A and B are shown apart, each in its own frame.
Chain A
Amino acid sequence: MKCYMCNLEGKETDAVAICIVCGMGLCMDHVIREEIEVWEGGFPLPSKKQEHTLPRILCKWCYNALKVD
């Protein structure tokens, strides 16, 4: 699979990841990796934040669309 974003720029680059939301193939230059905090547990015990985060691969468009802040 080739990188969709590179293709739009007239380049042809191999994709190394896929956006989890839209399925777009992405090269290392266009991939956005988000680290999602993982909380476990809850009522009747306080939730605990896990040491390791959960990676989420996104393209620029989906990242901007999902960005809350």
Chain B
Amino acid sequence: MISLKKRFFAELIGTFFLVFIGTGAAVITLMISQGSTPPNSFNIGIGALGGLGDWLAIGLAFGLTVAVLIYAIGHISGCHINPAVTIALWATKKFPGNEVIPYIVAQLIGASIASFLLAGVLGMAAVTVGGLGATSPFEGIGYTQAIIAEMVGTFLLMFVLMGTAIDKRATPGFAGLSIGLTVAAVITTLGNITGASINPARTFGPYLGNLILGGTNLWGDYLIYLIGPIVGAVLAAFIYQYISSEEKLPAGRTIRERE
């Protein structure tokens, strides 16, 4: 197996790109929507569509990045790029416990670097206008509602991951595409509810960036993006295992070939 040090870097790089491209799409959508005063030639109406059109675009930026990263580093580190996925795989005894912390640390570092680099590339407007793509419940959405929404979204993500990647009966080669499309679908729907994180690392980076660069301090909401995704992913892993397992043959019916 590839050494833990190299897999650490693979997870870091993977989460970096997920957050840079994904939250980058969110930040740029907000910046384009805002436009400038007085209007200039770049105020071309992108983002003015609002609603699901914008969320689909953001969802696809995340989803396509996830899909290609799975094909790029899936065989190196497993391409979890999400602490909820790492924890769920560990909870179902598919991933060693002593590697959980290194993986999560790598994911958090990668996400943080991405947020700071995004601010560096786009300037302070990325923080003041785009909030670095930080997630937060939308108006009228309570704390518990937000946790449930994140839980449902991450449940679907982990459920698809179990069915397309862990299950040996799955059609080979389609996991990356399936999971990427799942991420895009979830973000399109949950976007205007919670910001659709479904990944504690994806929220950690922008939160840290905002805190240090003078943006809005949203750490009070972080539990939503910690509890929801982790509970959702762990539940999905166990439920998939249960519904996909065959009933054991009675002892008397066990077939033994010649030894």
Answer yes or no: A47 CB below 8 A from chain B CBs: yes
**B166 and A44 contact, CB distance less than 8 A:** yes
CB-contact partner of A43 in B1, B7, B70, B95, under 8 A:
B70
CB distance from A37 to the nearest CB of B (A): 12
**B76 and A47 contact, CB distance less than 8 A:** yes
Contact-size category for B:
20 to 34
**B89 and A44 contact, CB distance less than 8 A:** yes
Minimal Cβ-Cβ distance residue in A for B76: A46
Chain B residues with CB below 8 A from A42, complex form: 74-75, 78
Q: Is the interface of B mostly helix, strand, loop or mixed?
A: loop
A43 to B175, CA, bound (A): 8
CB-contact partner of A39 in B75, B79, B176, under 8 A:
B75
Give the one of B74, B85, B94, B165 with max A CB within 10 A: B74
Chain B residues with CB below 8 A from A48, complex form: 1
Chain B 46-83, CB-CB to A under 8 Å as 1, else 0, gives: 00000000000000000000000010001111111000
Count contacts between A and B, CB distance < 8 Å. Answer: 40
Answer yes or no: A45 CB below 8 A from chain B CBs: yes
Chain A 30-51, CB-CB to B under 8 Å as 1, else 0, gives: 0000000001011111111100
**A46 and B176 contact, CB distance less than 8 A:** no
A48 to B76, CA, bound (A): 9
Chain B residues with CB below 8 A from A44, complex form: 74, 78-80, 85, 89, 161, 165-166, 175
A43-B75, A44-B85 are known contacts; what are 5 more A-B pairs with Cβ within 8 Å? A39-B75, A42-B74, A44-B89, A45-B89, A47-B1
**B75 and A46 contact, CB distance less than 8 A:** yes
A43 to B166, CA, bound (A): 8
A44 to B176, CA, bound (A): 10
